Structure 1
Amino acid sequence: MADCNIVVLISGSGSNLQALIDSIAQDSNPARIAAVISNRADAYGLVRAQNAGIPTRVLDHRQFDGREAFDAALIEAIDGFDPQLVVLAGFMRILTPGFVNHYTGRLLNIHPSLLPKYKGLHTHQRALEAGDSEHGCSVHFVTEELDGGPLVVQAVLPVLPGDTVESLAQRVHQQEHRIYPLAVRWFAEGRLRLGAQGAMLDGKLLPASGHLIRT
């Protein structure tokens, strides 16, 4: 099976990037990270990439005159690596419609909630304040709607008595590191794609909630 070139976009520590690096190191995984690009020069994820021998680039969004100019430069940088898939791994930028449309069907994101619940920020706090019995994380194809694209896979975990934002976030992170490499591998193997009606796995339309994994 031919390698599937991937570019990963980060802004911070890159723990999901590390999970992807570790997963790809396993036998018979056709995914290959061609580059890691960050909008912050101090992102620790760049160190993780360099330690794994992966090329890195930094595009500081503050050096550009607006979102469109930054996204145009970002597209140019990404496309220089000829990726089949672009993976958002803690990339803290709202992307323009032009960027999203350029990568339609080739752009994945992970979000720390059971979408469509709690789009945006502070998801763990919001789940606790709502008294939810379950929480988790979601991998989805990116569309113009923020955190609103078709769901691929969700990890569902119980909210425990006495959970804090920190304890809940830690357990959700563990599940992120489980389901993101899984979704990326599905795509790299040609099993996952975006169809007209939503996310398709092995030629079948996934349910609106995506593939559910309960812990």
Structure 2
Amino acid sequence: MSRKRVAVLISGRGSNMAALVEAAKAPDYPAEIALVLSNVPGAGGLALAEANGIATATVDHTRFGKDREAFERAVQAELEAHRIDIVCLAGFLRILTPWLVAKWEGQMINIHPSLLPAYKGLDTHARALADGATTHGATVHFVVPDLDAGPVILQEAVPVLADDTAETLGRRVLAAEHRIYPEALRMIATEYRLA
């Protein structure tokens, strides 16, 4: 079995990246995590990747000022150098330009802490609670130029409990993220494609 080479892009501790790394340890998993790239020097997830023998790279977005495309060209150069097939965004706190998204059409996926199309953007748990939602959850979707608007690959619903805070709800949603992201990557790596 030829395994797809995957880059995981992170900005922080990389808990979803860690879930992907664990899944990829299975001999029958169709993808290998070949690169973990961060836009934040010293991001916690980089050390975890290194401890698992995974190549890491840092492309510090602050070095590029307001030139988002120059930053993305540097990211693209790293992806090409590592012969990446699929890109997984996992807490990568940069909004990508259409230029980079087009380079990876149908091969770039993201995890989002809501049942899209509900609660695009930030602060999803607090917004769900403020709206009195009874169900919340997580979504893996293809990345398109519009924020959190790509076709859905997988979702998992999480009930909202009467005594939930944004933190308690967030912990349950994160657990769902850790379950569905490896499964979605498995689907993409086994020739599931954007219709």
TM-score (norm 2): 0.98
Measured on the aligned residues, the alpha-carbon RMSD in Å equals 0.8
Q: Equivalent residue for 1:166?
A: 167
Q: Equivalent residue for 1:107?
A: 108
Q: Equivalent residue for 1:177?
A: 178
Could you list the runs of 5+ residues in structure 2 that have no partner in the other structure?
none
Separation in 1, partners of 2:101, 2:123: 24
Matched residue count: 194
Q: Deviations over 1:121-165 (max 9, x none)?
A: 000000000000000010000000100000000000110110000
Which structure dedicates a bigger proportion of its chain to helix? 2
Q: Equivalent residue for 2:85?
A: 84
Does residue 58 of structure 1 match 2:54? no
Correspondence list, 1:1-215, <5 A: 1-65=1-65, 66-190=67-191, 192-195=192-195
2:183 alignment partner, SS class: helix
Q: Which amino acid counterpart does residue 54 of structure 1 have in structure 2? A: I
**Shift of residue 72, structure 1, vs aligned partner:** 1.1
Q: Which amino acid counterpart does residue 194 of structure 2 have in structure 1? A: L
Separation in 2, partners of 1:4, 1:73: 22
Could you list the runs of 5+ residues in structure 1 that have no partner in the other structure?
196-215
97-106 or 73-82, larger mean C-alpha shift: 73-82
**Shift of residue 81, structure 1, vs aligned partner:** 1.2
1:193 alignment partner, SS class: coil
Q: Which amino acid counterpart does residue 112 of structure 2 have in structure 1? A: H
| Over 6 Å off, 4+ runs | none
Q: Which amino acid counterpart does residue 116 of structure 1 have in structure 2? A: P
**Shift of residue 189, structure 1, vs aligned partner:** 2.0
Q: Which amino acid counterpart does residue 177 of structure 1 have in structure 2? A: H
Q: Which amino acid counterpart does residue 193 of structure 1 have in structure 2? A: R
2:193 alignment partner, SS class: strand
Separation in 1, partners of 2:11, 2:189: 23
**Shift of residue 80, structure 1, vs aligned partner:** 1.1
Q: Which amino acid counterpart does residue 184 of structure 1 have in structure 2? A: L
1:62 alignment partner, SS class: helix
